[in-house]
Structure 1
Amino acid sequence: MRVLTLLGIAASLALVPDALAVKEKDFKTCSQSGFCRRGRALAARAKEASSWNSPYSVDASSVAISPDQASVTAGVKSLLYPEVKFELELRVHDDGVVRVRMDEVGGLKKRYDEASSWALIAEPVVSKTVQWTAAKDCIRAVYGPKKELEVVVSYEPLRVALLRNGKAQVQLNGHGLLHMEHFRTKEERKIEETSQEEEQVVLDTTNPRAWFEGDSEDGWWDEKFGGHTDTKPKGPESLSLDISFPFHPVVYGIPQHATTLALPTTLGDDATYTDPFRLHNADVFEYLASSPMSLYGSIPVMYAHSEESTVGVFNAVASETWIDIWHAKPQSSDTHWMSESGILDVFLLPGPTPADVFAQYGRLTGTAAMPAQWSLGYHQCRWNYVSSDDVRMVSRKMDEHDMPMDVIWLDIEYSEEHKYFIWDHKTFPDPVDMTKDVAAVGRKMVVIIDPHLKRTSNYPVYQEATERGLTVRKPNGQDEYEGWCWAGSSSWLDCFNPGSWKWYQDLYLLDRKREDGGWTWAESTEDVHIWNDMNEPAIFNGPEITMPKDMVHYGGWEHRDVHNINGMLFTNQTWQALKARSTPAKRPFVLTRSFYAGSQRWGAMWTGDNLGTWEHMAVGLKMVLANSIGGMPFAGSDVGGFFGNPEPEMLVRWYQLGAFNPFFRAHAHIDTKRREPYLLDEPYRQMLKDILRLRYAQLPIWYTAFHQSAVTGVPILRPHWVMFPKDVNGFALDDQFFVGDSGLLVKPITTPETTEASVYLPAEDQIYYNYFTHLAYRSSKKGKTVTVPAALSEIPLLIRGGSIVPTRERPRRSAPLMKHDPFTLRVALDKAGAAAGTLYLDDGETYAFEQGDFVYRDLAAETKSKVLRISSRDLAASPRLLQVGREVSLDVYSPGNAYAKEIAGVRVERVVVLGAGKPKKVTLGDGGRELVWEFVPGVAAGGKKEGTASVLTIKDPKALIVEDWDIVITL
C-alpha cells in the first residue's frame, strides 16, 4: 500500500470509481529514462543502417583455456574505443547451463558485479567433461550426453550462440546491440536545456563514436524527473544486450507485469505496447490491468518455447532494466535488454524440456522453500482489524458459520505510530493473550513489518539501527538518508550491511535476551508470522515513489546498482529471524511484496494493490502463472481486490479463483466495506463456505505439489504449455491451468453473468471427468474445446484420466486439526484402465522431514485380465526419489520413521473410481477381506462415449496410509 499524497499518511481517501487508475505521471516511460532512450536509439540506428555489425570483437591472441577446461577467457575490444578493455569469460556447468560474463577491465571505476552472489544458492559446479577448442575465428565447446550441445563464440563481431544438434537455441549479440558503456571522466561541455529537462551536449555527428553512442550526452551525468534530480557521479554505465531465440516463437517470464502469460511484442507494426517491459521494483498504486509497466518485483528470467524445445536465459542484473520484444522472423523471438548498471552475467539454460529449464534455473537460484502446511489454508486480512476484540470476533464468527480459516492478519494500524514491533496498547492491549486465543483453535497471526524506521528518540529499533550505522546513507556516504513513509520521517535499514543481519534477527527473540543487551520484541509468540510490505522500497516523497538512485549502501554501491535486490534482502532477514527464534526451528511464513530471483527461498508473494474489478481478477491469474514459471510459485492475488466493494457475484468468483492459487488470502482497503465471508447473504454465504471447504479438502494435493516443486523446481500452477509442450494450440493459453501433477485442470470464471465455460482439452486421446458431476469429456489428438457448466455455485474443475487425487473430506476449522483425518482417493481411470498419483506428508511445521521424517506414497491403478488393482507403495524407498530428491538422502529415511509412527493409524476411508466397469468382487489384497462397495453405471473410461461416467465407491477399506496395500477389483 501507499498513500495518495504525502499529507494523506494519517488519513484514508474515499474510493471514487472514476479515480481508480494508476498515476502514470509518477513513473517513467522509456523516453523519460536516459539509458533506455540511448539503448532504443542505438537499436533504431542499427536497424536503419544498410549494413551493421557490432563494434565489439574478441582478441584472438588473448584466448585462454584454463588447464582444467573449467573456463575460457578472452579479451574483448571495441573498434570505436580501442583504449577501453573488456574481458569475456564462459563456463559450462555440469547440468549444461552456460554462464557468460563480461566486465570492463582497468576502468576508471568498478561496475556492480554482486547481483549473482545474492541470487545464486551456491557457486555452480563446472563441468569436468567439456573440451574447449580455439580456432582462428571462434571458440567452441561440444558437450552433452550425446554431444548434442555446442557453444560457439564468434570473434568478429563478438557473438555467443548455444546450439542443439547444430540448430541455434539462444544467441547473444546476434543483432549487434551489445553496448557496455565504459567509465569516463566528466569533461567541460555546453549545457543545453531540452524538453525532457535533460542536460545534453552536441557532439560531432561525423564521428562514428557519436553515431554509435548518440549525438549528445543524453542523461550521462544527471537527469531530472518529477521534480527530482538524479545525480550520476559515475557517469553513463548502462549495459545493452540483444538476446535472440531463432527458432522459438513464444517467450514467457520476466515477472512482474500485468499482462498476458505469453509476452506481447513492444516493437514492430503489430506491437501490443509502445514501451518496453520494465523491471524496476515500484509501488505502482492501482496499477493498470494491461501494461508493461514495472510493478513490485523483478525476476530477470525468460523462457522461449517451440514444439521442439524449451530454452531460457537468466540475466543476473539488479539495476533498472527495460526489455523490448519483437519477432524478426515468424518463428523467432528477439529481445533487447537495457540495464542501467552492472556487468554482463547471463546464464543460458539449454532445456530442452520445460521441466529441464525449471530444474536448471532452480539449481541456480534455488527452489521454493517447503512451507508450513497451515500457510496453505485460508488467510483473512484487511487494512485494518481495529482491536484485539475485533480479531477474536473474526475468529469466532468463522467458527460460528463453520468456515475454515488458518490465519488472521494485521495491517499497519496495530503498531504504535507505525513503529513496527511495538503494539498500540490503546487498541491492542493484550497482544500475547490475543495471539494465544487465536492459536488455541489452531490458527496463526500475521502482522506487518515494513522496512522504514520512524525517526524518533522513543523508538528503540531506530535508535539502535542508527547508532550502529545500519541505515542507508546519502551520496556523501556519511549522512543518514531521510524519506517519508507511513511512519512519517523515516530511515531505511540497509540489509546489504552484514552488521544488520544478526542485529535484525535478534529483534525477534522471544524468551532469550540478546547478548548485547539490546531491544527485543517481547510481545510476540511463535504463532506470529510476518508480512513485509513497502520493501521495494516505497518512499512517498521519493522519485517514482522509491529511493533516489544516488543513495549509498554498504560497500559504497549506489541504490541504482542494487534496487531490484533490496526487497529480497529484507525478506531474507525476516525469514531467518523467524526460523532462529524457535528451538528446534519451525518453518517461517513471510509474505513479501518486493522480490527478485531467489526470493522463492524465503516465502510467498502477492500481486499487490489490485482493484476490485473483473479485469484485475483476470489479470491476477496471469500474473500468478507468470510468477509460478518465474521460480516463485507461492503466489496469489488479493481475493476481492484491495480497492472497491465487489458485488456478491464477483466475490464468489474471486473466492473460486483464490481457492486455486497457492497463496489464498482475502484482503481489503481501509475504506472498503467489511466483507468477511460470513457477512454475505444467502445463497452467497453458503457458496463461499463450500469454496473454503473445497480448498481444505484438497490441501493434500497442494502440499504434495509444493513438495514436488521444492525438489524439482517445476511450478505448482502449470500453464498448458508446461504440461503439453508440443500442443501449439495451448502456447498462449493463460486462463486455465493444471495443479501440480495431480491431474486437476482448472478454468476459473473471471467474467460476469457467466453460466458456462469453454475449456480447452489438450491434444491427446484422453478422457477428462468433471470433479463434481463426473461428466466425462473426451479430447482428441488435435485438441478439443468443450463446454462445461459454470453456474455461480460451480467452478469448472476437471480431472484428467489417469490421475489419482487424494483429499481429506472431514470439515475442520483449520489445517493443523486435520492431521489425523482419513483420506478419500479419487481414481480417474484413463482409456487403458490405469491411473497414478502421489501423496507427500510430513509434520507440516518443523524441519524433521530433512532427517527423513515423512511419508511419500506412490498410488497406482492398473487393469489386467479383468482385474483392476489399486495400490499404494512407499515412493521414498523406490529409485524415483533419487531422480528428484534433494531434500533428504536415503540413508536417513526409514519407512518406520517418527512421523510415520505418529500417523500410523491414518487410513483411507473411501475410494471413488471413475470410469470402471461393474465389479464382481472387491477385496483388500488378493483373496483378502471383502470390501463394501456401491456402483452407479455410466460411461466407461475405455469407450468412446461422453456422458456421466460410471462411479464405483469403495467404503472404508481401512487401508493404512503408511503401509503398502492393494485393493483388488474383479470385473
Structure 2
Amino acid sequence: MGHGSNLTAAVLVSALAACWFISLLWAHQAPLVRSDCAKRNATEAHGRLGGDAAETSSEETRRPRDGACAMAPESRFDCARDRLLSQRGCEDRGCCYAPLPHSAGPPWCFYPTLYPGYRMGPLTPTARGQEATLTRATPSHLPREMSTVHLEVTGGTAGCLHLTFKDPSSQRYEVKLPAAVPQGEDDAQDALYSTEYQSDPFGFIVRRRSNGRVIMNTTVAPLLFADQYLQLSTALASSLVSGLGEHYTSLLLDLNWTSLTLWNRNMAPHADANLYGSHPFYMVQEEDGLAHGVFLLNSNAIEVMLQPTPALTWVAIGGILDLYVFLGPDPQSVIRQYLQVIGYPMMPPYWSLGFHLCRWGYTTTLTTRHVAQRMHNATFPLDVQWNDLDYANKDRVFTFDPWRFGDLPEMVEDFHERGMKYILILDPGISSSSPPGTYSPFDEGLKRDVFIKNATGHILIGKVWPGQTAFPDFTNPETRRWWEDCIRDFHSKVPVDGLWIDMNEPASFVQGSAEGCPASDLENPPYTPKVVGGQLSSGTLCMSAQQKLSTHYDLHNMYGLTEAYATHSALMNIRGQRPFVLSRSSFPGIGRFSGVWTGDVGSDWEQLRYSIPAVLQFGLFGVPLVGADVCGFGGNTTEELCVRWMQLGAFYPFMRNHNDKPNAPQEPYVFGQKAQAAMRSALNLRYSLLPFLYTLFHHAHTSAATVARPLFMEFPTDDNCQAVDRQFLWGSSLLISPVLEQGAVELAAYLPSGTWYSLHNVSQTPMHPFYSKGRYSLLPAPLDTINVHVREGHIIPQQVGPALTTVASRRKPFFLTVALSAGGWAWGDLFWDDGDKLHTFETGHYCYVTFTAGQVGKRRVTFPLGMNWALDGLVLGGLQVFGVPSPPRYVLANGDKVKDFTYRSDTKVSSVGLALPMSEVFSVQWAL
C-alpha cells in the first residue's frame, strides 16, 4: 500500500445456501460363517495361525528359492506374527529365516520376494467400475483360508480410488456407511491416479498421475485372506504418517517397528495401549506439499504394523478389506475426500463452544449450585454446568437421587434462567438387578427386546457402576425407539440440554459377562491383536454376544457410534433444537452426531503436551468438536499446570474442566488471585473469539474444513511444519503457541513464512509483528500469557467485553482484527444464525458476512445485501488494523469522519472506535 492511498474495509452479506442432508441406514448382514475350534493354548504367545513344523506340520518343506531372501532387514515383512517359530517352522511356511543380533525390530522369519499367493484373473468392466477374481492354488499357513477372493475396483471421484476384497462364497459382515456427501461421476481422464496390477502373485500399485510417485505398492508382501485373518501390506511414499487413532502418540507416528491396535477399550491414555476409539485412516505427507490418505473400512479388531522401509501392514480379524485411497493432492483435500465417504461433521450449538465445568464428586444439587455461583461471583465465564454419575439414584441412569438431587429439575431451570445450560452423564449399562416393576428402563427394555444377548439367546449381563447391567443393542431400530422414549421421559422431569455418553466402548468390570464366555473361535480367534488385557473381551462383552446386525465380534468398535446416533436423534426429536452429544468411544462417522473428549487424562505436564496431537488427530478423523479434560482428570493438578492448561484449553474446540472425585479441587476460583486472573484472561479471550470459532465450525460442517489444524495442513510445502505438534492453528488465521513445560516463561515457537501479528500480550496491547521467513522465534510467555498470532491477510471477527455466558457474549459489539498483508489486503468472514435451531444453513436461515480490506482504486468490490435479520440490533463497535505503515490523516465510516481513532507508530497498529449496524453494509476508509 502506497502513501496517500485509501484503504477500504467493507462487508459482503450473502444468504446463499445449499441443501445438505445425510441419513443413517443400518444394513442387515449375516454374521460370519465359522466353524468351532479348540480354545487357544495358553502357552502360545499371540495366536495360533500355524504351528512349528516340528510339532504340527506334516507337509513337505517349501523352502524359498535362491536369492528370494536377500533383502535389507528394514524391508522384511513378518511371516510369524502369531508366534515364535524355529527355522524349520518358518521355512515350512515357505518363508525366510535369518536371525539378527537383537530381538526387537526386524523379524527373523519373513516373506521372500514373490511369495506364492493369489493369482489375478482378467479385469472386466462392470456398471460400477471393474472386477476380477483372485484364486490361490498354493495354500498358506492360515486356517480356513479363502481359495477365491473377489476384487471390485471403483472410483467415486477423480481423487478417490475404492477397492474391495470379498469372499464370494460366504456372507461376511460389511460395514455399511450411510449415504454421505454426493460425489460426481468418475472420469478416468481426470483421475489423479493410475493403477497397475501384478497378476501372480497378486498385488497392485497406485501412482500419482501428475508425477508418477508410488502411493501404494502391495506387491512387497502377500495378500492373505482367511476367515479370521486378513492381511495387506504396502510400501509408503514417505515416513511422514499421521492417523490410525486413537493412541497416545505424537502427530507423526513412529515407524520403527511399531504396532498399533484398533480396538475400543476403557483405558486411560498412555503409550502402547489401544484406547477408546478406532479410526483406521492414515495420511501421508509426500514431497512438494502433496499428500494422500488411506481408509480401511472395517469394524473388526485391527492391528497395524509400521516399519522403517517405510511400509505398513494391515491385519484385520474379520469382515472384508474395503479400502479407500484419497489422492488429495493437498492435505486439506485429503480430509475433504475422506469426509465425503464418512460424512461431514454436525454443526454444534453455539453455547457448546463456551466453557464447561464438571466433576465426579459434585454429590448434591447444593454442591453443584454452589460451584456455579462461585464461578459467577469470581466473574469466570461458564456456559454449561455438568454432573457426573453422582446425580443418579443407586447409579442407575434415567433416575435422580431423591435426597441428594431432589430439586434437580428446579436447579436446571434456575440455570436456564441465568442463561446457562445443563448436561449430565448417561452410561449405556442398564441396571438389571432391581426388583421387577421398580426400574422402568429395564422393565420396558425386556418387553421390547432391546438388549444384547449371549450366545445362548439370553440377555448378556455384565457389571458397571450400578452392579449387574444389560447393554442396549443400538443397531436394533426398536432399541433406538426405546432409548428415545427413556430420554423423553427423563427430559420431561429434568430438561437437560445435552447428554454425555460415557463407558460406551462398551465398558464392563467383568470380562465378557457375569457368566463368562463360551469357548469358541470368536472368543479366542486364531490371531488376537495386541490388546490391553490380552483378550478381545477384556473389559467389555463376549465376542459371541448377539446383536441385530451381527455378533459383537464384528460390531464392538461401532458401539459408541451407534449409541451416538441414537442419542443425537433422540435429542433432536425431543428438544427440537440442535443436539449436543459428547462420546468417549468413537469410530469413523461419529463426528456427524457427537463431539469427543480424550478420556481420563492425567494431571501432569506430559499429558498436557500430548493433548495437542490428540486433538489434531481427531480433526483429521472428521471430529472437530474435541478437547481434553482441562487441568487433567486423574491425579492432583498444580496451580501452574492448571493455568497453562486453561490457556491451552481455551483453544481446544471443546473446552471442559473435569476432575476425578479423589483429587484436589481444580475449579478456577480455588487458586490464587494471580492464577485466577490468568485463567480469566484466557477464558475472556476465548469468548471474544467465539464468532470466529463458530464460523470455522460452519466451514467444517459444510465443506469439511478442519477447525484445530496442524501446521502442515496450511503450509504443506514448508518442511519445518511437517512434525510440529506443540503448536496449532485455528483455521488458517490464528497460530496458537502454548507453554507446555513446568517453569517456562518463554518458548521457541515456529512462525511460517509471512508476517504474524501478536493478538495480545500481558498489557493487552499488540506487540511488534514478526516478519518471518520460516523460523523459530523465542517468545516471552509469562504465566499470564498464551501466545496467539494472527496471520497476515486475514480478518478475525470478535465480540468484545466481559460476558459470563454466550447468551450475553452474543449481544456484545463486534470487533474486527484486521491483519494486512504486505500488499495491503485482508479477508475474513462470519457465519451467524440463532445458534441453536436445526438445519439453519440447509434452510437458508442465517447470515454470511464477508469482510474485505484493500486499497481503493486497485480493486472494485460490490456488496449485495442478503438476509441480515440475524444481525439486527448488533453493532460493529470497532476495529484494529495491523500493518498500517503511517498515521492515518483521517478515518471515514460510511463517508462520515470518525473522531475516535488512534495509531501506534511502534507497532504500526491503528484502532478505530465505531457504532455501525452489523445488519447493514458498511465501509471504513482511512487516508494516509
Structure 1 and Structure 2 fold alike (TM over 0.5): yes
**Is the Cα contact below 8 Å between 2:180 and 2:344 reproduced in 1?**
no
- Indicate whether 1:93 and 2:83 are aligned: no
Q: For 1:507-656, list aligned pairs within 5 A.
A: 507-509=486-488, 521-525=491-495, 527-542=496-511, 544=533, 545-555=538-548, 557-582=550-575, 585-656=576-647
1:850 Cα offset (Å): 2.3
- Indicate whether 1:505 and 2:505 are aligned: no
2:388 aligns with one of 383, 391, 411: 411
Q: For 1:719-734, list aligned pairs within 5 A.
A: 719-734=710-725
Write the distance in 1 (CA, Å) between the matches of 2:692 and 2:449.
Answer: 47
1:775 Cα offset (Å): 2.0
Secondary structure of the equivalent of 1:766? strand
Q: One-letter code of the match for 1:101?
A: T
- Indicate whether 1:486 and 2:530 are aligned: no
- What per-residue deviation string (whole Å, max 9, x for no partner) do you get for residues 914-968 of structure 1? 120211121124xx11112433333xxxxxxxxx522211111x33323322211
TM-score with structure 2 length normalisation? 0.83
1:570 Cα offset (Å): 0.8
Write the distance in 1 (CA, Å) between the matches of 2:660 and 2:44.
Answer: 31
Query: Partner of 1:179 in structure 2?
Result: 224
1:636 Cα offset (Å): 0.4
Query: Partner of 1:811 in structure 2?
Result: 802
- Indicate whether 1:850 and 2:831 are aligned: no
Write the distance in 2 (CA, Å) between the matches of 1:595 and 1:34.
Answer: 30
1:829 Cα offset (Å): 1.4
Query: Partner of 2:917 in structure 1?
Result: 960
**Paired positions, count:** 801
- Indicate whether 1:354 and 2:331 are aligned: yes
Write the distance in 1 (CA, Å) between the matches of 2:622 and 2:334.
Answer: 11
Write the distance in 2 (CA, Å) between the matches of 1:603 and 1:37.
Answer: 45
Q: For 1:26-41, list aligned pairs within 5 A.
A: 32=46, 40-41=78-79
Q: For 1:760-775, list aligned pairs within 5 A.
A: 760-762=750-752, 764-772=753-761, 773-775=765-767
Write the distance in 2 (CA, Å) between the matches of 1:57 and 1:304.
Answer: 28
1:454 Cα offset (Å): 0.6
**Is the Cα contact below 8 Å between 1:317 and 1:343 reproduced in 2?**
yes
Q: 1:50 to 1:680 in 2, by over 3 A?
A: closer
Write the distance in 1 (CA, Å) between the matches of 2:43 and 2:730.
Answer: 37
Q: One-letter code of the match for 1:532?
A: I
1:722 Cα offset (Å): 0.3
**Is the Cα contact below 8 Å between 1:254 and 1:630 reproduced in 2?**
no
Query: Partner of 1:714 in structure 2?
Result: 705
- Indicate whether 1:74 and 2:132 are aligned: yes
Q: 1:757 to 1:776 in 2, by over 3 A?
A: same
Q: One-letter code of the match for 1:568?
A: L
Secondary structure of the equivalent of 1:296? coil
Give percent identity, aligned residues only.
27
Q: 1:766 to 1:31 in 2, by over 3 A?
A: farther
Secondary structure of the equivalent of 2:458? coil
RMSD: 2.5
Query: Partner of 1:861 in structure 2?
Result: 853
1:788 Cα offset (Å): 0.9
1:413 Cα offset (Å): 1.6
Q: 1:862 to 1:963 in 2, by over 3 A?
A: same
Higher RCO, Cα 8 Å, sep 6+? 2
**Is the Cα contact below 8 Å between 2:239 and 2:255 reproduced in 1?**
no
**Is the Cα contact below 8 Å between 1:92 and 1:126 reproduced in 2?**
no
1:669 Cα offset (Å): 0.5
1:573 Cα offset (Å): 0.5
Query: Partner of 1:195 in structure 2?
Result: none
Query: Partner of 2:907 in structure 1?
Result: 949
- What per-residue deviation string (whole Å, max 9, x for no partner) do you get for residues 41-88 of structure 1? 347946756842253434435x3212x4x2211111113249822111
Secondary structure of the equivalent of 2:493? coil
Write the distance in 1 (CA, Å) between the matches of 2:294 and 2:185.
Answer: 19
Q: One-letter code of the match for 2:448?
A: R
> After alignment, is 120-129 or 431-440 more displaced?
120-129
**Is the Cα contact below 8 Å between 1:416 and 1:422 reproduced in 2?**
yes
Write the distance in 1 (CA, Å) between the matches of 2:186 and 2:781.
Answer: 56
- Indicate whether 1:778 and 2:841 are aligned: no
**Is the Cα contact below 8 Å between 1:151 and 1:163 reproduced in 2?**
yes
Query: Partner of 2:172 in structure 1?
Result: 111
Q: 1:747 to 1:803 in 2, by over 3 A?
A: same
Query: Partner of 1:65 in structure 2?
Result: 125
Query: Partner of 1:8 in structure 2?
Result: none
Write the distance in 2 (CA, Å) between the matches of 1:37 and 1:604.
Answer: 45
- Indicate whether 1:675 and 2:670 are aligned: no
Query: Partner of 1:904 in structure 2?
Result: 872
Q: One-letter code of the match for 1:862?
A: G
- What per-residue deviation string (whole Å, max 9, x for no partner) do you get for residues 158-199 of structure 1? 2222222262443252322421114xxxxxxxxxxxxxxxxx
Write the distance in 2 (CA, Å) between the matches of 1:962 and 1:174.
Answer: 61
1:495 aligns with one of 455, 465, 474: 474
Write the distance in 2 (CA, Å) between the matches of 1:821 and 1:850.
Answer: 27
Secondary structure of the equivalent of 1:105? coil
**Is the Cα contact below 8 Å between 2:194 and 2:208 reproduced in 1?**
yes
1:148 Cα offset (Å): 4.6
Secondary structure of the equivalent of 1:962? coil
Write the distance in 1 (CA, Å) between the matches of 2:111 and 2:448.
Answer: 60
Q: One-letter code of the match for 2:483?
A: Y
Secondary structure of the equivalent of 2:340? helix
Query: Partner of 1:756 in structure 2?
Result: 746
TM-score with structure 1 length normalisation? 0.79
Write the distance in 1 (CA, Å) between the matches of 2:677 and 2:418.
Answer: 22
**Is the Cα contact below 8 Å between 1:318 and 1:564 reproduced in 2?**
yes
Write the distance in 1 (CA, Å) between the matches of 2:382 and 2:44.
Answer: 44
- What per-residue deviation string (whole Å, max 9, x for no partner) do you get for residues 569-610 of structure 1? 11111111100103xx20111110000000001121111011
- What per-residue deviation string (whole Å, max 9, x for no partner) do you get for residues 89-125 of structure 1? 0101134311110111214xx3221x2x1x4444965
**Is the Cα contact below 8 Å between 1:161 and 1:170 reproduced in 2?**
yes
Q: One-letter code of the match for 2:79?
A: A
- What per-residue deviation string (whole Å, max 9, x for no partner) do you get for residues 585-641 of structure 1? 201111100000000011211110111100111111111111111211111000111
Query: Partner of 1:884 in structure 2?
Result: none
Q: One-letter code of the match for 2:443?
A: Q
1:375 aligns with one of 345, 352, 365: 352
Q: 1:124 to 1:767 in 2, by over 3 A?
A: closer
Write the distance in 1 (CA, Å) between the matches of 2:572 and 2:609.
Answer: 35
**Is the Cα contact below 8 Å between 2:712 and 2:721 reproduced in 1?**
yes
Write the distance in 1 (CA, Å) between the matches of 2:51 and 2:152.
Answer: 29
